[in-house]
């Protein structure tokens, strides 16, 4: 069964509901306003972008994506697989990310990964399908669920910015474990995605970051 999703029509109302439940989240809205309703286009190109974001800065991933677009135009599985390793390296792809994006492209082309069916699947079904691709783990799957499909109840504890933000917002000890934070996040069910958006919002503003629209 498909899991719940949020939309533009209820985004602020859910943020307000969380604010009534949690003083620290309420303070984020009071200080900085509502977070953006981050949204990315469904499909292969977005998954390539999220893979490029693994363990690097958003700016570095954006530069690699832009170079790839300069090289091939629309990012499709066929066009990516037609590039040599050297051509992908010239687009700032690491050796590992060449392997990962090639496997992604192959699985989309041969029908093992059916991205167009995701709207009707549960979070766990989507996560299983995505993590069958080399190099796609829980973080990449969760970002796709949150940013593309707008599923309401995800909290990726593998995201360093999110973990650092909750520690800062709630004044937690630096040694607080991800397991402890995951338990804390259960207080925001069934809207943990929106809580994460608020915490990312606070982190971005605190660091003075300027993001492109697809970030």
- Tens digits of residue pLDDT in 145-168: 999 999 999 999 999 999 999 999
* Cβ neighbours for 141, distance < 8 A, ≥ 6 positions apart: 126, 127, 130, 131
Same domain, residue pair 128 and 182: no
Token pair of 80, please? Answer: 């990516």
Per residue in 165-214, pLDDT tens? 999 999 999 999 999 999 999 999 999 999 999 999 999 999 888 777 66
Same domain, residue pair 112 and 182: no
Nearest to 100 by CA among 164, 33, 167, 47: 47
Number of domains the chain is built from = 2
CA distance 47 to 41: 10
Same domain, residue pair 69 and 111: yes
Helix residue ranges, H only, 2-84: 11-21, 23-32, 44-53, 58-72, 77-81
Q: What is the pTM of this model?
A: 0.94
CA distance 89 to 33: 40
Show the domain range for 180: 11-36+153-206
């Amino acid at each position: 069964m498909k899991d719940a999703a949020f939309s533009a029509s209820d985004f602020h109302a859910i943020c307000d509901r969380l604010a009534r439940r949690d003083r620290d989240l309420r303070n984020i809205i009071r200080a900085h306003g509502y977070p953006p309703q981050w949204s990315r286009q469904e499909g292969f190109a977005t998954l390539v972008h999220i893979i490029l974001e693994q363990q690097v800065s958003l700016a570095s991933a954006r530069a690699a994506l832009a170079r790839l677009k300069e090289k091939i135009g629309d990012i499709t599985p066929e066009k990516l697989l037609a590039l040599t390793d050297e051509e992908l390296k010239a687009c700032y792809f690491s050796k590992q990310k060449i392997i990962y994006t090639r496997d992604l492209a192959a699985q989309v082309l041969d029908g093992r990964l059916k991205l167009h069916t995701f709207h009707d699947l549960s979070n766990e079904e989507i996560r299983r399908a995505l993590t069958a691709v080399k190099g796609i783990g829980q973080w990449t799957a969760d970002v796709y669920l949150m940013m593309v499909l707008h599923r309401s109840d995800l909290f990726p504890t593998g995201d360093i910015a999110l973990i650092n933000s909750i520690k800062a917002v709630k004044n937690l000890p630096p040694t607080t474990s991800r397991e402890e934070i995951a338990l804390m996040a259960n207080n925001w069910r069934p809207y943990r995605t929106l809580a994460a958006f608020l915490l990312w919002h606070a982190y971005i503003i605190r660091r003075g970051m300027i993001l492109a629209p697809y970030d």
